[in-house]
């Protein structure tokens, strides 16, 4: 009996049973995991694919002629194909394996930024970026004498699109914005951003870390030029991520790291680089993690992203309603278009204390600045507590959170 089903095919109970960790206890309480924006839990299918790989397929890829190397290479490339279909890319060569979102953005900053930015050029980011979409651009802009500009936002956490449009000029060389904000939950109008940017002749990178596991994402429909995300936030292992890039753009970008696999031939005089996507994959990659990510994509595919989105929209509505009714609680991030991320502050109780008290109730939330210090400065708060939901969360999890907050209020009355 659950009040959570939002679609006949969406059976949250059976989904939960596929995540062993959700059956564990913390401080003697059943785990209520509400820190999905930090990382998601892993289903059995992913765990088994990792185990299987190491038990029966382990070898290095693209190098050996022996059987296991062929199997490992085949599985690794199969995972790439799964990701290609998952994000609707036109070509597998547009799917670069990285270590994660941070690595993907750094790749772009290096391979695009260092090649194309010159003195006086501008890169535009937004006021709600994760540090991983700020610092790499600061570094490359400093180096190249370029300028970093920031799209401001309103008090609800929505980007001011007029201001963005006014910023665009011949100097604008790249837009890099977050698809879904990890600290505010805002779903940005990325179609509009891409359209405006392209009218200006400027490519767009989207940070999709918080989007891919929560809503359908199709890079061709978005028409973005680069799209970065992390495997571990979409039920896959840590240490693997994706940078999607349009082929024409990737081909113009310079290599990132140098090493094995990314080359075609090396002499001490001259090295020629490998084709896409290998040109950007130097060294032995996290093979098992890539295969595990493929298993995660299969897992999501069996559920369907539209069903996930509907379920999480219900959770967001319910959580917003219940949390808004908690006396002294203020939600930070009230955009019209939101993902199921609810950041909040509570009168008289610091987020850090909220986190500790909830933890003793078995409830995992994130507290702090969420690697978005400029967002905290914008709202003039030191930190927030954040509940972030995933497909396996339920209305009961929201109820547990609200009950836990009553305990916080009791202590900090």
Partner 1 sequence: MSELNELYQQLILEHNKSPRNFRVLDRCTHDADGYNPLCGDHYHVWVNVENGVIMDIGFQGNGCAISKSSASMMTAAVKGKSVAEVKALFDTFHAVIMTKIGDEVPDATIEALGSLGALAGVREFPARIKCASLAWHTLVAALNGAGSSISTENNG
Q: Return the active site residues.
A: 371
List binders of ligand PLP among 31-60 (CB under 6 A): 37
Q: Does 132 bind ligand PLP (CB under 6 A)?
A: yes
What is the C-alpha separation between 374 and 139, in angstroms, rounded?
A: 17
Query: Contact at 8 Å (CB) between 412 and 406?
Result: no
Query: Contact at 8 Å (CB) between 250 and 240?
Result: no
Q: How far is the CB of 326 from ligand PLP (least distance, A)?
A: 25
Of 11 and 353, which has the nearer Cβ to partner 1? 353
Q: Is 5 helix (H, G, I), strand (E, B) or coil?
A: coil
Query: Contact at 8 Å (CB) between 88 and 219?
Result: yes
Q: From the list ligand PLP, partner 1, none, pick the one residue 230 interacts with, judged by a Cβ distance below 5 to 8 Å according to partner type.
A: ligand PLP
Q: Is 224 helix (H, G, I), strand (E, B) or coil?
A: coil
What is the C-alpha separation between 180 and 379, in angstroms, rounded?
A: 18
**Chain length of the chain:** 413
Q: Does 300 bind ligand PLP (CB under 6 A)?
A: no
Q: From the list partner 1, ligand PLP, none, pick the one residue 249 interacts with, judged by a Cβ distance below 5 to 8 Å according to partner type.
A: none
- The most distant pair of C-alpha atoms in the chain lies apart, rounded to whole Å, by 72
Q: Does 209 bind ligand PLP (CB under 6 A)?
A: yes
Tokens 């930070």 found at: 332
Per-residue DSSP letter, 180: B
Q: Does 72 bind ligand PLP (CB under 6 A)?
A: no
What is the C-alpha separation between 164 and 176, in angstroms, rounded?
A: 12
Question: Per-residue x/- mask for partner 1, residues 340 to 359, rule CB under 8 A?
Answer: --------xxxxxx--xx--
Question: Per-residue x/- mask for partner 1, residues 356 to 395, rule CB under 8 A?
Answer: xx--x------xxx---x--x-----xx------------
List binders of ligand PLP among 333-392 (CB under 6 A): 371
Q: From the list ligand PLP, partner 1, none, pick the one residue 210 interacts with, judged by a Cβ distance below 5 to 8 Å according to partner type.
A: ligand PLP
Helical (H) or strand (E) element with 242 = strand 241-245
Tokens 């772009």 found at: 108
Question: Which residues of this protein are in contact with partner 1, per CB under 8 A?
Answer: 348-353, 356-357, 360, 367-369, 373, 376, 382-383, 407, 411-412
Question: Which residues of this protein are in contact with ligand PLP, per CB under 6 A?
Answer: 37, 100-102, 130, 132-133, 178, 182, 207, 209-210, 230, 371
């Amino acid at each position: 009996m659950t009040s959570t089903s939002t679609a006949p095919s969406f059976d949250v109970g059976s989904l939960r049973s596929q995540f062993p960790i959700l059956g564990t206890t913390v401080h003697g309480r059943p785990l209520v995991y509400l820190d999905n924006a930090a990382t998601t839990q892993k289903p059995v299918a992913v765990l088994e694919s990792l185990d299987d790989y190491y038990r029966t397929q382990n070898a290095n890829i693209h190098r050996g002629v022996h059987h296991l190397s062929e199997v490992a290479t085949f599985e690794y490339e199969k995972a790439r194909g799964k990701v290609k279909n998952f994000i609707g890319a036109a070509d597998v060569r547009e799917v670069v394996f990285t270590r994660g979102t941070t690595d993907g953005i750094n790749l772009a900053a290096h391979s695009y930024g260092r090649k194309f930015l010159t003195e006086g050029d501008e890169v535009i980011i937004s006021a709600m970026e994760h540090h991983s979409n700020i610092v790499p651009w600061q570094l490359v802009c400093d180096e190249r004498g370029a300028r970093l500009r920031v799209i401001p936002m309103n008090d609800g956490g929505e980007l001011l699109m007029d201001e963005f449009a006014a910023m665009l000029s011949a100097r604008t060389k790249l837009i890099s914005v977050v698809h879904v904000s990890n600290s505010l939950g805002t779903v940005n109008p990325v179609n509009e951003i891409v359209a405006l940017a392209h009218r200006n002749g400027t490519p767009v990178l989207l940070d999709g870390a918080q989007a891919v596991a929560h809503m359908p994402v199709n890079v061709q429909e978005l028409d973005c030029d680069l799209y970065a995300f992390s495997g571990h936030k979409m039920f896959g292992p840590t240490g693997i991520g994706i940078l999607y890039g349009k082929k024409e753009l990737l081909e113009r970008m310079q290599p990132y790291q140098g090493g094995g696999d990314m080359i075609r031939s090396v002499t001490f005089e001259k090295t020629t680089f490998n084709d896409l996507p290998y040109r950007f994959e130097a060294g032995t990659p996290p093979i098992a993690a890539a295969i595990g990510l493929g298993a995660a994509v299969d897992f999501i595919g069996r559920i369907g992203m539209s069903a996930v989105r509907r379920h999480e929209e219900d959770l967001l509505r319910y959580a917003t309603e219940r949390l808004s009714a908690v006396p002294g609680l203020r939600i930070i991030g009230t955009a019209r278009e939101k993902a199921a991320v609810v950041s909040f502050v509570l009168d008289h109780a610091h987020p850090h204390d909220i986190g500790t008290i909830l933890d003793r109730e078995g409830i995992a939330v994130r507290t702090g600045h969420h690697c978005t210090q400029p967002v905290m400065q914008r709202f003039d708060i030191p930190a927030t507590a954040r509940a972030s939901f995933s497909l396996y969360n339920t209305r009961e999890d929201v109820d547990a959170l609200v009950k836990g907050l009553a305990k916080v209020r009791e202590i900090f009355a």
